[in-house]
Structure 1
Amino acid sequence: MKRKFSLLIVLMVLTAGFISSGTALASQGDKGINEKLGLPIVVYGEALSDSQKNEVAGLLEVDKHEEIDEFTVNGRDLADYIGGNPNSNMYSSVKILHKDNGKGLNIEIVTPDQITEVTKEMYANALLTAGVENADVFVASSVKVSGHSALTGIYKAYDAKGVKLDQGRMKVASEELDVATSIAEKEGIDQAEISELLTEIKKAIAEQNPATKEEIENIVQEQLQALNIELSPEDRQRLVDLFEQMRSLNIDFNQVKNQLNDLTGKLEKLINDEGFWNNLQSSVQKFFQSLSDFISSLLK
């Protein structure tokens, strides 16, 4: 009986170790330095104090990486990249993990309670407009901020690594973020609805390939009606002017559309995949049933 009890204790320790190590591996996920894609990048807002910077580093799990490239973004960068106010205080920070071509863009706001205006869908739309693709992007702040400065931080990260993004596309992407957040606030519309509107307008532009500003106006109006969103004439015009700028930049909207479809499809596919959840539940049930049977046999 003593031997069986000892075996049981060992089994419990091993099981606990297995579960905790599995959880740690799942959360850590670091496989060392990817020599093909380069080091992870972290860009901190310059206005952060030392203690706030340390907090953000913890939120972005900087210490999970063996090596990392670190930069700081300031008001001067805001002015250089998108023509913003050089005296702006920059707080929101980002971590970027580059991925292979075709892997798509993934955005995660690590501190959603602290990023008050910009949603991950807004970031995704703006970054795709700017030409940023194939990366995992994590946004965090230790204080409540709108979240706009994170976009400039991403631009600086790419520039520092020798990847030159188009200046015109960066500026219109920043304007897209401003239009999205201001319309959501001014019109009292949910941020998710505005993100969906921008996404659907881009998809429609990819499908219809408008050649004139009037055709852009028609697309904007069609999507507003389709989503049952009412805007003031002024805000409708802001959307038309925004997408007319995008059209003049010769952005490949088909490529943007594919990325947007990929972003919106991943989660829906997982949520609707009953087989995945059933298999997961079945596997867990089988594991613990086997464990229970084994323990019972030890105690007989």
Structure 2
Amino acid sequence: MRSNKLTKIIITSTLALSLLAVPVSQATVLAAETTSESTSSSSTTQTHTLNKSYVVYGAGAAEKNELNNVLAVDDNFTTLTATASDYQKYINPNGSTTNAAMVSSVAIVPTDPGSGIKVNVKKFNGEDNITKVTAQQYAMVAQMAGVTDVTITVSANRAVSGESALTGVYKAIAADGVSLNEQNTQSANQMLTATNGAIEANKDDSKYPGKLMAAVGDTTKEINQQKKQGTTPTQNQIQVIFNQKLEERNIYNETKNHEQPIINALVQFNNAPISSSKDYSSHVTDTINNVKNSSGDMMNKAKKFLNSQDGQAVKQQAQSWWTRFVNWIRSWF
């Protein structure tokens, strides 16, 4: 009898020592590393603007297998195609384009509430094929259109300006059942075009796009806050607000000769329904925080898995398992 008890002690001690060699937190990290970002982001335990992940290929896109690698697409993504008709529907009703010209492709993944919009513009086979639009422009313009809490990845298999990539973003949002107001999207699209001149003039400053789009976001936030208080700012007041925001970002002198198209776009935002939305200020603040200090094409600095709701759930499960194991050992004695 005493021999059997001694045997149990030796066996359980060996098991316990083996398990203690790997801390619970480390075991959780290993579990997290086997979970792709898109899987954890689209978990049903979290709330997002989107219900699932999408990849939207331009109708003229080629080499889709390589695009899938660049955009980090897997079988969990719903596949759509952005056509010339979609471009006219979402971007420019009076514009003329062809399916062959629709080259930019995008992947859109839901992220944690309060994360705002983050954008990665990725190289294709080592080439920067999105030649004009910056990650910061995509982020703030999508926010102004009514999109929030997503990560957008953009690429193209050949050189294009990238201005049609928003077509894919809007199409995915619509396919997910979210209704985007046309007036909102048109004012946002105008901002994309309006900021091109200032960014081109300051192309040697990698931080300029982030500062400019943060100033744009700051101004839209101020407009929204005034309208929620019952005041609609005039064009002159919008210009004053925008200039103040440029000063705060230390880019007034660099922008003043290119600001009129931006002010015109801000006036259109002021006329759009989203400018009166009760939750716009909080959402745009999230995206301002993403763009204001960013530079280059990679904005997404995803939260560590263990800090996400899914990660915390895994950690709690691991801790619960450990407690049950200890209780099981105790039951032997």
TM over 0.5: yes
> Among residues 266, 282, 305, which one is paired with 1:243 in the alignment?
266
Long gaps (5+) in structure 2: 1-25, 227-231, 296-300, 302-333
* CA displacement at 1:165 relative to structure 2: 0.8
2:199 maps to which residue?
184
Alignment of 1:158-177 (within 5 A): 158-177=173-192
1:14 maps to which residue?
none
2:253 maps to which residue?
229
* CA displacement at 1:264 relative to structure 2: 4.4
* CA displacement at 1:102 relative to structure 2: 2.7
1:34 maps to which residue?
43
Larger fraction in helix: 1
Q: Which amino acid aligns with 1:262?
A: N
Query: Alpha carbons of 1:205 and 1:152: their partners in 2 closer, same or farther (altered >3 Å)?
Result: closer
Q: Which amino acid aligns with 1:97?
A: V
Query: Alpha carbons of 1:215 and 1:26: their partners in 2 closer, same or farther (altered >3 Å)?
Result: farther
d(CA) in 2 for partners of 1:73, 1:205:
29
Q: Which amino acid aligns with 2:217?
A: K
Q: Which amino acid aligns with 1:214?
A: N
Q: Which amino acid aligns with 1:114?
A: N
Contact 1:224 1:230 in 2 (8 A): no
2:108 maps to which residue?
96
SS in 1 for 2:97: coil
SS in 2 for 1:229: helix
* CA displacement at 1:82 relative to structure 2: 2.1
1:216 maps to which residue?
238
2:86 maps to which residue?
77
1:60-108: CA deviation from partner (whole Å, max 9, x where unpaired): 1223x4x321000011111011225342411111111123433322211
> Among residues 286, 302, 309, which one is paired with 1:259 in the alignment?
286
d(CA) in 2 for partners of 1:96, 1:246:
24
2:33 maps to which residue?
25
SS in 2 for 1:39: coil
d(CA) in 1 for partners of 2:35, 2:131:
26
Query: Alpha carbons of 1:161 and 1:189: their partners in 2 closer, same or farther (altered >3 Å)?
Result: same
Contact 2:214 2:288 in 1 (8 A): no
Which has the bigger relative contact order, CA under 8 A and spacing at least 6?
A: 2
Percentage identity across aligned positions?
A: 26
Query: Alpha carbons of 1:141 and 1:221: their partners in 2 closer, same or farther (altered >3 Å)?
Result: same
Q: CA RMSD in A?
A: 3.3
Name the TM-score, length of structure 1 as normaliser.
0.70
SS in 2 for 1:47: coil
Q: Which amino acid aligns with 1:227?
A: I
SS in 2 for 1:199: helix
* CA displacement at 1:245 relative to structure 2: 0.8
Q: Which amino acid aligns with 1:254?
A: S
What is the count of residue pairs matched by the alignment? 245
1:111-132: CA deviation from partner (whole Å, max 9, x where unpaired): 2722111111111110110010
d(CA) in 1 for partners of 2:210, 2:80:
29
d(CA) in 2 for partners of 1:59, 1:23:
24
Long gaps (5+) in structure 1: 1-17, 272-300
